[in-house]
Amino acid sequence: MAAPVMAVIAMAHPVQAQARPQGFHIPAQPLSAALLEFSRQSHELVVAAGALTADKRSHDVSGRFENEVAIRELLRGTGLLAVRNAGGGYRVTAGAPRADATPVPGAGEETPGIVVTGAQRRDQQILKVPASIAAHDKASMDRQGVRSLDDLVRLTPGLSNIATSSYGGETISIRGINSNTGASTTGIYIDNTPIQTRNYLGVVNNNYPLIFDLDRVEVLRGPQGTLFGSGSEGGAVRFVTPTPSLDRTRIYGRADVSFTQGGDPSGELGVALDTPLVQDRIGLRVSAWGRHTGGYIDRVSPTTGALLASNTNSENDMAFRAEMRIVASDRLTITPSVFYQNTRRDDIDLFWPSAGTYKSTYGMAQPDHDRFVLPVLNIDYDAGPFTVKSVTSYYDRRGERVEDYAPLSVSALTGGAMTYVPGVDFHERSNTITRQKNWSEELRLTSRDAGNARFTWVVGFFFQNSTQRYDQAEVDNIDTLIPALFPGWTTETFYGRGQLPGNVSFLEGLTYETQERAVFGDASYRITNRLKASVGLRVAHNHFSFVDNQDGPFVGTEALHYSGEQSETPVTPRFNLSYQAGAAQVYATAAKGYRIGGANPQVPTTCAGDLATLGLTAVPSTYKSDSLWSYELGAKGKLLGGKLSMAGSLFWVDWNGIQANVPLPSCGFGYNANLGKAASRGFDFQLDAKPIHGLTLSAAFGYTKATYRTDVFGAVPDGSDSAVLLARKGDDLGTPNWQSSFSGEYARDIAQNTSAYFYGAWQYSSAYHRTGSEGVNGYNPYTYRGAALNSVNLRAGVRHGSWDISAYVSNMLNSRAYTYYYRAQADQGDGGRAMTMRPRTIGLTATFRN
């Protein structure tokens, strides 16, 4: 009897095959059922003999892929091929394709590759993009337990986040292009909306999206100034959200409970619903997610060591997102969305090593609360030979923070001899509010790429108005401290005037405003079928202004008011040449990046001595933009029939006029200046292998050496014949040289529609230098060396249909290396404060996808 034939028909009427990537979600299941689901989601006819698919299982296919790539991944490891028939649709076969059928490109290759959009502003498979990109999709982030930016950094060589402040603020950088002041060196995007923040003396940092309802995260290494603009000097990180489905209801859910050694338990729960409201016309995706992270730091008395509060640094996070996709016509699609995120932390993750590991001697809790809302309107129009995309967005952020300044003030007033005064109940509370409001509009025209088009292009216009406000009030009982330290003195005699109403000793209101207007374009031409050249250019006009008001006895005898502004017209070109040979590609890129300059608020009269040491009577009113040229050689591709994929690049970056902070250590202030030149050179390499069925191995490692190329001196002070050294040739820029991540997963079927798996990963980041070397202004022997970091994570679980249940261990080695350390240079005692990775945590995760 002839084997039965299974005909899988998705639609009753013919549909033209779509070459563009689209969303798929097909869980691992019997192959016949998976092909039926592929047919329904792709609107393609699929025909296969029942004898071929019997007793075979598919792989999970989740993400955005071209149809050919998705069906190839379904068939991976089955020994079957998919071929496209001349009349349309696919036939699954074990033999050679018929003469009238077109083999699916790359048939027999194993890895489909994540589709990314950032690097060239069009959907492309990652292995076909001539640029260095790391991309993490939702499935891989779930498997690796990625919940935050810190987790992403450990998985991505070349990406660093260095803690810059006691409340956990971080500076993110790519390829060593790192700075803790001025405009951001790394672009941070939610889809197409920039959200990065201007840093103010290391105390204002970005608010990154928490990782739940995301399609993927893209890390674009190297300057992206041509297509992304200011702030993407070293690269960009894009948090890409899912697109609503128009034809099927889908649910994604995740629940987690965990227990941290020495701390309180944690838990999270989130669900995303994706459903069509009008079939093939209107789709809606709604997600809600919440997480409680238990604390593990105890607050104790600085004098007796008695416990005041346990596990104080707990955190509560929540996020909500809604997006509607409206297909108004065959050509017009309108997609409004809103993203809301709210984080509340009860206390900072900081402890005092002198009091014991995870013990804090601060006199008060230091909570912070940060939230943002991001409404966006996307409009897409298919004009035939090209598409038009408009992205209008408004980013509204508000952050509130409390810090205990008492130890800093006591140390400053006693020359570092102590951080608290026995018998004196002194307290100083700093209340800070940060507001950020960004309006942006991008209009982009993109030529259609049929896959073999000889000439393709992207042109666009970008507009952004950004306002950032920083308000700080320091409230204290300084009237108690001054006479205790200096008998016979009062606040009025010591500072020249008394406190402001409400016991305020320092008050500041600082407003930054930035406007950017830019036109950009990128064109690619296929010189031959394999050789392609691309040229891009962005011309922008930027205007920056600020107003700063300061008052209180800490400022001096009078209130201060300052303002300043600056305008520039930067031009950022990009050149790329790539050669594609089958599944392999080599490329070369030269690109320019920049970030906007700014203006300095003046500092109080108490800084006069520090300024005199630098040969100044006042801080410079403005500082210029800095810029760089990046040169990159790269290769990527697949080997051994797709069982091995690799991507690597070599880079050299010349960075000029670096914006950096010049500290004024005696008064605790500082200013920004352009400090000479630097170079960053190194490589990154990614390798993924599937040597046997069920086993996946990954290795990613990179080397970055970013150093100053010149000595930079301040002005010569009066009465001196030498100037202060501000930067030394050969000093590091404050990022690790080596980063690596190695992981492996083994999965095996244990029953019908059920598989078990084990995953393990080790991440490493080498030691680095936090400040300039000895003899450089701002050198601090206590904080100079940053520690190397090691992290081992394990996960084991079972997948059954749409369910994935797993147990895991994070920071299995219970590493306590400091991720941040602060101790005043004048500190004569042991007043250091530190942060580490979260202690060893075990947990259980349940994930559902249909």
Per-residue burial over 357-381, b = 16 or more CB atoms within 10 Å of its CB, e = otherwise: ebbbbbbbbbbbebbbebbbebbbb
Task: Tell me the CA distances in angstroms from 694 to 315, 757, 796, 806, one per residue in order.
Answer: 38, 9, 14, 17
pLDDT at 106: 35
> Average pLDDT, stretch 498-511?
93
- With 90 as the cut, is the pLDDT of residue 765 above it? yes
Give the model confidence (pLDDT) of 181-223 as tens digits: 788 889 999 999 999 888 765 555 778 898 898 988 999 999 9
pLDDT at 124: 67
pLDDT at 18: 45
pLDDT at 273: 96
Round to the nearest angstrom and report the end-to-end CA distance of the chain: 37
Average pLDDT, the chain: 86
Beta bridge partners of 435: 398, 469
- With 90 as the cut, is the pLDDT of residue 461 above it? yes
- With 50 as the cut, is the pLDDT of residue 6 above it? no
Return the residue matching tokens 């820029």: 733
Identity of residue 736: P
pTM above 0.75, yes or no: yes
pLDDT at 116: 52
Helix (H) or strand (E) holding 270, with range, is: strand 265-278
> Average pLDDT, stretch 685-694?
92
- With 60 as the cut, is the pLDDT of residue 705 above it? yes
- Sign (positive/negative) of CA torsion 811, 815, 819, 824? positive
Give the model confidence (pLDDT) of 609-622 as tens digits: 888 888 888 888 88
Domain boundaries, the chain: 5-103, 238-487+494-506+528-849
Per-residue burial over 555-589, b = 16 or more CB atoms within 10 Å of its CB, e = otherwise: bbeeebebebebeeebebebbbbbbbeebebebbb
Assigned CATH class of 238-487+494-506+528-849: mainly beta
pLDDT at 794: 96
CA distance 810 to 513: 42
SS3 content of the chain, % helix, strand, coil (to 5): 10, 50, 40
Query: Which of 32-41, 537-546, 571-580, 630-639 has the weakest average pLDDT?
Result: 32-41
What string of DSSP letters covers 705-760? EEEESS-EE-PPPTT-S---EEE-TT-B-SS-SEEEEEEEEEEEEEETTEEEEEEE
- Top pLDDT among 96 and 318 is at 318
The verdict on domain 5-103 having CATH code 3.55.50.30 is: yes
CA distance 572 to 825: 41
Query: Which of 14-23, 154-163, 230-239, 394-403 has the weakest average pLDDT?
Result: 14-23
Confidence at 662, pLDDT banded by 50, 70, 90: confident
- Top pLDDT among 703 and 613 is at 703
Contacts of 273 (CB under 8 A, 6+ apart): 249, 250, 251, 284, 285, 286, 287
Judged by DSSP in three states, 444 sits in strand
pLDDT at 2: 40
Query: Which of 111-125, 342-356, 540-554, 820-834 has the weakest average pLDDT?
Result: 111-125
